[in-house]
Amino acid sequence: MQVKDKVIVVTGAASGIGKALCERFAIEGASAIVATDINSEGVNATVSDISDQSQALGITCDVGKEEEATELVAKTLEAFGHIDLFCSNAGIFTPGGEDVPTEKWQAIWDINVMSHVFAARAVLPGMLERGEGYLLNTSSAAGLLNQVGSAPYATTKHAAIGFAEWLSITYGNRGIKVSALCPQAVRTAMTAGGDGGVAGLDGMLEPEQLANTVIETLAEERFLVLPHPEVLTYMRRKTDDYDRWLGGMRRLHGRFEDIYRAREESD
């Protein structure tokens, strides 16, 4: 997919990765960009930054609630007639293990997993009718590998990958393209005040660097969007010798355990 002249929706667009995607899509010549987030002020700022280059519409939306995700798609269709690319990007991080309270497990599940489901339910009918469309779902390298220090994050990001794979398998022969964005550490509010922990071992990327990789991958219509190319090597090591990989991850856990415990206590 070439972004030029496309109608694009980006969730989590008030800051970080989402804002950088909106800005890059505008530079690439998207005809219309719908920026959405639960943060109204941030959405308005993003729209202001890109409105000289593309038609821009800001919508406040909690994508973890299906009725709001459905309304988001309906408003976009009303304004622009169709959606070429839906970037389901919003996500949250919750530190801790299996003992994280159930309500926090549910909250991260709703944002990191169900928001992708709600988006697909709302946007796929129109895409399938047109015989074309693209879904870019933000997961994380944690969805391909794991996340030391956070069972909720690791679990939900794995689920997000599984759902994206299922969408590609199920609808790929009907004109629907799917990509999963899987970075390691990116300088956003989620990593503010730190070096990204385990995810930062291969370096902290700026959101604008990640957006470059997104454009390249969309053009090639590949499934995995890997701003940190090292992740592919780690995946191969994992599948080549699962037990050896788990041993290495246990060593990483020991190395970073105190850091993540402190983060959990301060959450």
Annotated domain spans of the chain: 7-266
H or E, element range at 248: helix 242-266
Q: What confidence tens digit (pLDDT) does each residue in 232-241 have?
A: 999 999 999 9
Report phi then psi at 59, rounded to 5.
-135, 125
Q: Which residue has the higher pLDDT, 191 or 37?
A: 37
The fraction of the chain above a pLDDT of 90, given in percent, is 83
Contacts of 149 (CB under 8 A, 6+ apart): 95, 96, 197, 198, 253, 256, 257, 259, 260, 261, 263, 264
Q: Is the pLDDT of residue 223 over 50?
A: yes
Judged against a pLDDT cut of 60, whether residue 196 lies above it is answered with no
Q: What strand order describes the sheet that includes 85-88? A: 55-60, 32-37, 7-11, 85-88, 133-138, 176-181, 224-225
pLDDT at 79: 98
CATH fold for domain 7-266:
Rossmann fold (3.40.50)
Q: What pLDDT shows up at residue 263?
A: 63
* pTM tops 0.85: yes
Range name among 146-155, 195-204, 210-219 with the lowest pLDDT average:
195-204
Q: Is 14 helix (H, G, I), strand (E, B) or coil?
A: coil
pLDDT tier, 189 (very low <50, low <70, confident <90, very high otherwise):
low
pLDDT for position 185:
75
Mean pLDDT of 247-257: 87
Give the helix ranges, DSSP H, for 14-136.
16-27, 40-50, 66-80, 102-109, 115-130
The three-state DSSP-derived secondary structure of 120-166 is: HHHHHHHHHHHCCEEEEEECCHHHHCCCCCEHHHHHHHHHHHHHHHH
* pLDDT band of 193, cuts 50, 70, 90: very low
pLDDT for res 106 = 98
Candidate list 153, 171, 234, 260, residue with the active-site label: 153
Residue 111 reports pLDDT greater than 50: yes
Residue 94 or residue 198, greater confidence? 94
Active site residue 153: yes
Dig out the tokens for 107 from the structure.
């909250």
Residue 187 scores a pLDDT above 80? no
Cβ atoms of 179 and 134 within 8 Å: the answer is yes
Lowest mean pLDDT among 79-93, 136-150, 209-223, 244-258: 244-258
- Report whether 27 contacts 3 (CB < 8 A): no
